Amino acid sequence: MTTDMCTRRDFLKTTALAAASLTLYSGALQGAAGKAADDRPNILWIIAEDICPDIGCYGHPLVKTPNIDKLAGEGARYTNAFTTSPVCSPSRSAFMTGMYQTSIGCHHHRSHRYDGYTLPEPVKIITEYFHEAGYFTSNCEGLAWHRPGKTDLNFAVDKPFDGTDWRKRKAGQPFYAQVNLSETHRIFKLDPDNPIDKNEVELPPYYPDHPIARRDWANYLECVQVLDKKVGKVLKRLEEDGLADDTVVFFFGDHGRPHLRGKQFLYEGGIHIPLIIRRPGHIEPGTVVDHLVSAIDLAPTSLKLAGIEPPKHMQGYIFMGAGTRRRNHIIAARDRCDGTADRIRCVRTKRFKYIRNYFPNRPYTQFNLYKKHRYPMWALMQILYAEDKLTPQQQLFMASTRPEEEFYDLRTDPYELNNLANVPRHNNLLRSLRKMLDKWSKGTDDKGAICEDPSIGVKAYKDVQEYYEPEQKKRGLPANAPPTEYLKYWQKTLFPSGIKGQAER
* Separation between Cα atoms, residue 320 and residue 326, nearest integer Å: 10
* Separation between Cα atoms, residue 445 and residue 312, nearest integer Å: 16
CB burial string 217-230: b at 16+ within 10 A, e below: bbbbbbbbbbbbbb
Structure letter (DSSP) for residue 186: S
The number of C-alpha atoms within 13 Å of 126 and in the hemisphere containing its C-beta is: 33
User: Dihedral sign, CA of 41, 230, 294, 125?
Assistant: positive
| Of the candidates 386, 262, 315, 304, the residue with the CA atom closest to the CA atom of residue 102 | 315
Which residues are catalytic, by number? 88
* Separation between Cα atoms, residue 499 and residue 412, nearest integer Å: 36
* Cα dihedral: 293, 294, 300, 306 (round 10): 50
Residue 504, CA distances (Å) to 287, 333, 398, 498 in order: 39, 38, 28, 8
Instruction: Find how far residue 141's CA is from the centre of its chain.
Output: 17
Strands 175-181 and 42-48, by their bridges, are parallel
Residue 305 and residue 29 in contact, taking contact as beta carbons nearer than 8 Å = yes
| Of the candidates 181, 107, 113, the residue with the CA atom closest to the CA atom of residue 143 | 181
* Separation between Cα atoms, residue 133 and residue 37, nearest integer Å: 9
| Of the candidates 469, 401, 394, 404, the residue with the CA atom closest to the CA atom of residue 434 | 404
Longest dimension (CA), the chain: 70
CB burial string 399-423: b at 16+ within 10 A, e below: eeebeebbbbbeeeeebbbebbbee
Alpha-helix residue ranges (DSSP H) falling in 50-151: 66-74, 88-95, 112-115, 126-132
* Separation between Cα atoms, residue 173 and residue 130, nearest integer Å: 11
Which SS3 state, helix, strand or coil, does residue 445 take? coil
